[in-house]
């Protein structure tokens, strides 16, 4: 019984924290984001397992987490509203080579991040070569180059 409640509490707690932290926080942009992810994992582990190191407990915790995830994914397919609240929405941050500064400020992304993604994904070097830059739900930036990119 405890195992199920513990896993559910951690799942919901982590989900709320991650959503509050914004799209960008743990998209593994920097090395430290990766370290932060590891630390969160370590901190969570104790609370998830408590003092019970049995295989049964581990499996129950995993099954609870996975089932919650599947359940929510089914719920998200049914309801667009739930999907938006749980998984965020994509955001256009560059349009026709122009950075939409207010959006970028709110999402805590800067032009350097966009250019980094542009170099990485499309080999683009300047902002004006970008038709759209979209901050995806996952926190990554995807780039659509202009047709006549040169």
Order the strands of the 91-95 sheet from edge to edge: 98-99, 91-95, 130-135, 141-145
Span near another protein by CB under 8 A; candidates 17-25, 35-43, 52-60, 104-112:
52-60
C-beta neighbour count of 124 within 10 angstroms: 20
> Residues 64, 94, 117, 139: which binds another protein (CB under 8 A)?
64
The verdict on 45 binding another protein (CB under 8 A) reads: no
For another protein, the binding residues in 131-150 under the rule CB under 8 A are 145, 149-150
- Residue 86 tokens read as 């749980």
The smaller minimum CB distance to another protein, of residues 17 and 70, is found at 70
Q: What DSSP string describes 102-140?
A: HHHHHHT--HHHHHHHHHHHH---SGGGEEEEEE-TTS-
For another protein, the binding residues in 102-131 under the rule CB under 8 A are 122-123
Strand partners for 145: 130
The verdict on 56 binding another protein (CB under 8 A) reads: yes
Whether residue 40 contacts residue 13, with contact meaning beta carbons closer than 8 Å, is answered with: no
The verdict on 70 binding another protein (CB under 8 A) reads: yes
The verdict on 52 binding another protein (CB under 8 A) reads: yes
Name the strand (E) or helix (H) holding 4.
helix 2-20
The verdict on 29 binding another protein (CB under 8 A) reads: no
Residues that bind another protein (CB under 8 A): 1-4, 51-57, 59-60, 63-64, 66-67, 70, 122-123, 145, 149-150
């Amino acid at each position: 019984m405890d195992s199920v409640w513990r896993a559910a509490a951690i799942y919901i707690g982590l989900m709320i924290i991650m959503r509050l932290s914004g799209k960008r926080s743990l998209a593994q942009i920097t090395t430290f984001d990766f370290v932060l992810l590891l630390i969160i994992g370590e901190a969570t582990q104790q609370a998830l397992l408590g003092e019970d190191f049995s295989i049964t407990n581990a499996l129950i915790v995993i099954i609870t987490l996975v089932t919650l995830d599947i359940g929510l994914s089914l719920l998200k397919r049914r309801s667009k509203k739930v999907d938006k609240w749980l998984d965020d929405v994509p955001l256009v941050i560059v349009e026709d080579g122009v950075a939409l500064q207010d959006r970028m400020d709110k999402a805590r992304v800067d032009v350097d991040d966009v250019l980094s993604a542009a170099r990485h994904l499309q080999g683009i070097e300047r902002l004006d070569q970008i038709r759209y830059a979209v901050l995806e739900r996952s926190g990554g930036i995807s780039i659509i180059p202009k047709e006549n990119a040169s």
